[in-house]
Structure 1
Amino acid sequence: MYDFNFLESLISVSVCQFHTVSVRPAEDVTLMCSNFSKFFSHIFWFKMNSSPNASRISAMFSAESNVSLSDGFHFSKYNITSNITNLFLKIKEVNFSDSGLYFCGQYVTAGEAPVPAVFTATHLQVEDVSDRLLNLPRMILGCVTVFLTVVIVLFEQANLLQNLDPDGLNYAALKSHPKAKNYTGLSDEKELETNVLYAATRETH
């Protein structure tokens, strides 16, 4: 185990890549470390979780050498492989205790003591399935709310159009009806004038 001072010194001499990986419980995950093939020194994997201590997982002299695991880590759970340019750490059937910050790098000489230099840092997050199940009803409720809102808006628009049609017809009928009366009135007046004229003509004769 290594304390937080180890982590500070580890990062202070490093130019590292940082990644975030999310995985579900019981799945396998593979973490990758790169840019170490040109060095021939002690290569390592470290893990740091919520505690202020870092645990060394594995060590190997070079990319082609055999891997040794530290106490508490077993090959049935961890598998380290290499393709010369990259180093891989495979964790099988992860659980919540596997969440944490994983470092990969090598030891470099700084003064009299070797100092670890990090190439890659990966934050592994094992997702909680229960959180997804809790969010599912919220998603369903949101979809139902949107659907009902659309239905209500369409229903109101349909009622509005339905109410406007009879009014338009009544208004058109009211406008055309007086005109019919006016035309009938003029016709009656003309007919009356004609009758009066005819009667006056007969009397003069």
Structure 2
Amino acid sequence: MTAIALRHARVRYGPLEALHGVSLVAPSPGLTVLLGRNGSGRTTVLRALAGSVPLSKGSVVWDGINVTRVPAFERARRGLCLVPERQAVFGSLTVRENLALAARDPAPALDAYPQLVPLLERRAGTLSGGEQRMLAVSRALLARARVVLVDEPAQGMSPTVAARTYELLVALDACVVVAEQRLPPALRARPVFVYELRRGAVVFSGEATERSLRAPRG
């Protein structure tokens, strides 16, 4: 059964249309990649799936049920977790407190990212960009969500930590959708499905191994 999908989705920001009838399907379990440069619509797709931006036309379907009018907080209650590119952690709280908001036992997150252990008493807002991304992704891992949407999960991370991050996301028993500007090296040999967006429209869809994907041109 389809985990989550957009059907002919259109999104407007004032007079500008950001998505022009986008349709896509993200299966579960599995990892789906949205590729595109800034302004391509990939972040808007994630926000539309999460319910944080309304559709002007089209629908969001989750496990066969139309949830277009279901608000974002209710989608979260039903098991959807969105990790945005910015402001993905609570900067005034410590790392430990951020993890406690997702689960009582932070051990799985600390096993995934042992780099967070010496930072547990630090306020999240004082962490580097890569450390904040580790914390944000680890909170998503703890949430045990049915649908996990992550905008640029490895931003600011070293290549080794980035590869580890994608190993963790691929291993989740969930529908995982990530947005990236380019296909991460860690995914190029994996059976993941790719949608490439350009200027609010899908210009390619298929397995990552079907062809050598170049960086989106616009």
What is the TM-score normalised by the length of structure 2?
Answer: 0.23
More relative contact order, 1 or 2 (CA 8 Å, 6+ apart):
2
Highest Rg: 1 or 2? 1
Greater helix proportion = 1
What is the TM-score normalised by the length of structure 1?
Answer: 0.24
